[in-house]
C-alpha cells in the first residue's frame, strides 16, 4: 500500500468514497445525520416532509412526561401514608374520617400513577391535588401537604406543556 500524496489526494489503491484510515473524516461522518447534513437542533425548522422537529432532545418525550407525573403521584402516596402516624402522635386530632381520607387519597394517587397513559389522568391528578388541599379540613398538616404537592403537580404540568407543546 502506498502512502497518500502530499497534496492530500488519496493513494491510487484506495477506494473512492471510503476515507483513508486516520484522515479524520470518519469522526465527522459519525456526527452527521443520515441525510449528510449537520445534526438538527431542538429548534430546527420543519423538515421537507412538513414534520416538525421534536422540541426536546428526549428519545421518547411522552414517556418521560408520563414518568414525571407517575413519579410525582407515587411520591405523594408514600408521603401521605407515612404522615398518618406522626400526625396522630404529635397531638393531631386526626379522626377516623381523616385517616380514611388520607388512605383513600394515597390509593387514588397510586392508581392514577399507573394510568398516566390515559389523557384524562392529568386532569384527575389535578383533581386529586384539590382533594388533598380540601382534606386540610381534617388537619392543617394535610393542607400543608396539599400545598406542597399541588406546587409539585403544577410544575409537572408546566414541564409537560414545555416538552410536549
Domain ranges of the chain: 61-164
- Specify whether the CB–CB gap between 94 and 80 falls below 8 A: no
d(CA 54, CA 46) in angstroms, rounded, equals 9
d(CA 40, CA 88) in angstroms, rounded, equals 56
Is 72 or 141 the better-scoring residue by pLDDT? 72
Supply the pTM of this predicted model.
Answer: 0.65
Is 117 or 98 the better-scoring residue by pLDDT? 117
Buried-state track 43-64, b at ≥16 Cβ within 10 A, e below 16: eeeeeeeeeeebeeeeeebeee
d(CA 55, CA 39) in angstroms, rounded, equals 14
* Three-class secondary structure of residue 64 per DSSP: helix
Residue pLDDT, tens place only, 3-27: 555 555 555 555 555 555 555 544 4
Amino acid at each position: 500500500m502506498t502512502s497518500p500524496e502530499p497534496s492530500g489526494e488519496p493513494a491510487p489503491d484506495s477506494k473512492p468514497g471510503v476515507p483513508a484510515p486516520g484522515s479524520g473524516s470518519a469522526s465527522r461522518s459519525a456526527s452527521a445525520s443520515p441525510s449528510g447534513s449537520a445534526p438538527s437542533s431542538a429548534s430546527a425548522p420543519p423538515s421537507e416532509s412538513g414534520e416538525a422537529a421534536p422540541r426536546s432532545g428526549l428519545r421518547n418525550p411522552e414517556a418521560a412526561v408520563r414518568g414525571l407525573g407517575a413519579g410525582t403521584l407515587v411520591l405523594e402516596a408514600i408521603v401521605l401514608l407515612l404522615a398518618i402516624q406522626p400526625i396522630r402522635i404529635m397531638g393531631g386530632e386526626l379522626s377516623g374520617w381523616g385517616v380514611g381520607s388520607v388512605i383513600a387519597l394515597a390509593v387514588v394517587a397510586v392508581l392514577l400513577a399507573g394510568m398516566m397513559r390515559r389523557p384524562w389522568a392529568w386532569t384527575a391528578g389535578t383533581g386529586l391535588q384539590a382533594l388533598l388541599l380540601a382534606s386540610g379540613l381534617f388537619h392543617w398538616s394535610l393542607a400543608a401537604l396539599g400545598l406542597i404537592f399541588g406546587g409539585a403537580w403544577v410544575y409537572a404540568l408546566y414541564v409537560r406543556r414545555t416538552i410536549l407543546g
